[in-house]
Amino acid sequence: MSVAEILGKPLCTLAFCWRLERRDGVTMGLTSHDRDLTVDHVRYRAAPGMMPSAIRSGITAEGADMDVEGALTSDAISEDDLMAGRWDGAALEVRLTEWEEPGALWLLLARGEIGAVGRRGGAFTAELLGATNALRSAVVPSTSADCRARLGDRQCRVDMAGRRRIVVVSGIEDGVAQVEGLTAGAYAFGTLRWLTGGNGGVVQAVTDNETDRATLADPPPFVVEAGTLALLTEGCDRQLATCAARFGNVVNFRGEPYLPGTDLLTRYPGA
């Protein structure tokens, strides 16, 4: 039966289904129906509080493709996970199906990733960023004295093998993680990804490090117990001197350190 025939029936038994996949690999299925549905071996758990806004289609790139509203539940989407940023950037698909025959109708309504997440009382709202979001980005990069690449990406091309290591965090205080055996400064501007404990999957920025500690940009959202494992990834300050001396990668430096800036117009003899 075609989609038009299903939607044209005198009585439709329709339900929304959401498939969410976080950046740490955790995947979850939710449905607006009052009982769980299974489609393609994925269980969509009943979440009657989940509702999408009107889905707009058109040729403009203004605004989000849609918003999702739902109730905060401990076994589905918890307030703690939202506040910890675990759902930021998660891939999301919204589909329409018939709850009498799950999967017989599997109409894709929207696809994208989770953008801004808000909280109000016992509910949350999440913005879905679709394909049109890419049209808002700059067509060409702006010039900059600093490198625009990220260490190890396709533009930088630095081999990251050996620049990541799993460490044991013996404790943390005021955003400073106690870690032994580090090279001073190597992980500044890098990242720390928690592998175990209550913060598992959360990625945090590292501002600096010494041989026995790493300073995080923000304290972890949850308590860190002694012996917690984390993945430390080296960083770069994106300066030409660092690129040359530490990485020997000037050929791939994505910046213009010698290009005169706008301050050239304000210079005068003797300045």
pLDDT for 154 equals 93
**Residue 96 CB partners (closer than 8 Å, separation 6+):** 14, 15, 16, 17, 105, 106, 107, 109
Average pLDDT over residues 209-214: 94
Phi/psi at 235 (nearest 5 deg)? -125, 180
Which residue in the block uniquely carries the two structure tokens 């055996």? 181
Q: Taking the model in full, what pTM does it have?
A: 0.69
Same domain? 33 vs 120: yes
Under DSSP, the state recorded for 41 is: T
Considering the domain architecture, whether residues 180 and 96 belong to the same structural domain is answered as no
Summarize pLDDT for 65-115 with one digit per residue, the tens. 566 666 656 466 777 777 777 888 888 888 889 888 888 888 888 888 887
State mean pLDDT over 198-204. Answer: 89
CATH at residue 217: 2.40.10
Query: Residue 158 falls within a domain, yes or no?
Result: no
Please choose, from the candidates 234, 237, 243, 238, the residue with its C-alpha nearest in 3D space to the C-alpha of residue 214: 234
Number of domains forming the structure of the chain: 2
Q: Which of 223, 146, 152, 211 is nearest to 183 (CA)?
A: 211
- CATH (domain of 29): 2.30.110
Enclosing domain of residue 199: 164-233
- The verdict on residue 254 lying in a domain is no
Task: Look over the chain and give the mean of its residue pLDDT values, rounded to a whole number.
Answer: 82
User: Tens digits of per-residue pLDDT, 126-172?
Assistant: 777 766 666 667 777 788 889 999 999 999 999 998 999 999 999 99
Residue, of 191 and 132, whose pLDDT is higher: 191
> pLDDT digit string (tens) for 28-50?
888 888 889 999 888 998 876 56
